[in-house]
């Protein structure tokens, strides 16, 4: 398993981590199998979506913020309930097939670390099987 640390710079942000994951696959002995990317935080997530046009990630964040506003009289005392809800909806992991030693991502797909309670120092885990 590989652990990677990143620093986010905004409260809500998508960070493209595709190259980190590709590098882990390249350095492994896995030719055919699975790559699991996991986020061990309750206010962040992992998703796969379009990476060619950065406006897609902006649009996703915009819609999440409209659907789940930061201040909505939540019960949780820390003031980050919206972050927990967003992380639960997006999900804490993604599984990507590995074929011939490479991630089997679609032409436009990228892997994103989704920050919903930043800025912070965060980590994500990569497991190859």
Predicted TM-score (pTM) of this structure: 0.95
**Number of compact structural domains in the chain:** 1
- CATH label of the domain that carries residue 84: 2.60.120.460
E-assigned strand segments in the chain: 2-7, 13-16, 33-38, 44-50, 93-99, 102-103, 109-115, 121-128
Q: Yes or no: say if 115 and 10 are a contact pair by the CB < 8 Å rule.
A: yes
Q: Yes or no: say if 96 and 34 are a contact pair by the CB < 8 Å rule.
A: yes
Q: What is the pLDDT of residue 98?
A: 98
Range of the domain at 94: 2-128
Q: Would you call 48 helix, strand, or coil by DSSP?
A: strand
pLDDT digits (tens, 9 = 90+) for 84-116: 999 999 999 999 999 999 999 999 999 999 999
Confidence of residue 77 (pLDDT cuts 50, 70, 90): confident
């Amino acid at each position: 398993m590989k652990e990677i640390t990143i620093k986010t710079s905004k409260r809500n942000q998508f960070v493209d981590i595709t190259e980190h994951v590709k590098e882990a696959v390249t350095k492994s002995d896995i030719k055919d199998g699975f790559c699991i990317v996991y986020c061990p935080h309750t206010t962040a997530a992992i998703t796969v979506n379009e990476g060619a046009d950065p406006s897609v990630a902006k649009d996703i964040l915009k819609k999440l913020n409209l659907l789940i506003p930061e201040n909505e009289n939540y019960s949780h005392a820390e003031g980050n309930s919206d972050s927990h809800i967003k992380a639960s909806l997006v999900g804490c992991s993604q599984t990507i097939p590995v074929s011939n030693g490479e991630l089997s991502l679609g032409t436009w797909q990228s892997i994103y670390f989704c920050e919903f309670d930043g800025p912070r120092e965060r980590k994500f885990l990569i497991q190859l099987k």
